[in-house]
Amino acid sequence: MQINGPSNINGPHQIGRTSQVRQTRPTEQTQSAGPIQDEVEISSPAASYIQQARELPDVRTERVEAIRQQILDGTYMTQEKLEGAIDGLLDELA
């Protein structure tokens, strides 16, 4: 294989003709096979994550709204919550 740098640019080249595809009539076998159905295959790790997501409890919208309001009011972030989050992160990393 030979690689030429940008200074070795050759002139234009002719583009070859594209190959033509012949269309054929569907045979009786393909017509009677029934409708084509899609299939999905999920790997084991992905299936495990999907199963875990299905087992999660429902979202508690009233709790989410209360926290959202605390954030908007500026009262959500406290020193205790920050220390708890840092402790949890350090425990998870250890």
Average pLDDT for the chain: 81
N- to C-terminal Cα separation, the chain: 51
Residue type, 61: T
pTM of the model: 0.34
- The Cα 58–Cα 54 span in angstroms is 9
| pLDDT tens readout for residues 54-83 | 898 888 999 999 999 999 999 998 999 999
Name the 3-class secondary structure at 37.
coil
Domain map of the chain by residue range? 59-94
